[in-house]
Amino acid sequence: MVIQNAERFGLAALHQLRGRVGRGEYKSYCILKYQGRSDKIRERMKVMQETNDGFVISEKDLELRGSGEFFGTKQHGIPEFKVANLFEDTSLLKAAQSLAIKILDDDPNLEKTENLLLKNAIDKKFNGNIEI
């Protein structure tokens, strides 16, 4: 298999395509052709050369390309809103998730005084179109 312009694909997609060859009895090859000489492109292609581990590949892809847009803002016209960098802020995101679960376990409808500001902010953001 020869993949032209491999720099245009995410590493996970390249990994999946590469996995489609070599399933038969004959030796097979996957050749990634790319354009550009940037360090980032070379580093991405080097990852594909050095490992077949999908977890390593996806971590490197996230590190190099970033997490993208949380809500797909360019497609839908929502103002840009960045929550966090999924690669760098994992511990912060886990802490926020744990706190959110704790709050909702304690006050499922956010009716307590200490949670009213949070409930109002959620209602305002989603125009009341979300059920807690």
Element (H, E) at 60: helix 54-65
Contacting residues for 123 by C-beta, under 8 A, at least 6 apart: 130
Q: Would you say residue 122 has pLDDT above 80?
A: yes
Residue 132, in any domain of the structure:
no
How many whole angstroms separate alpha carbon 28 and alpha carbon 44?
A: 22
Residue 105, in any domain of the structure:
yes
Total domains in the fold of the chain: 2
What domain range is 13 assigned to?
2-65
Q: Are residues 81 and 121 in the same domain?
A: yes
pLDDT bin (cut points 50, 70, 90) of residue 76 is very low
Residue 48's CATH number:
3.40.50.300
pLDDT bin (cut points 50, 70, 90) of residue 67 is low
* Tokens, residue 57: 């590949």
Q: Are residues 17 and 53 in the same domain?
A: yes
Cβ atoms within 10 A of the Cβ of 85, count? 14
Q: Which of 23-27, 70-74, 127-131 has the highest mean pLDDT?
A: 23-27
Residue 32, in any domain of the structure:
yes
pTM of the model as a whole: 0.51
pLDDT bin (cut points 50, 70, 90) of residue 37 is confident
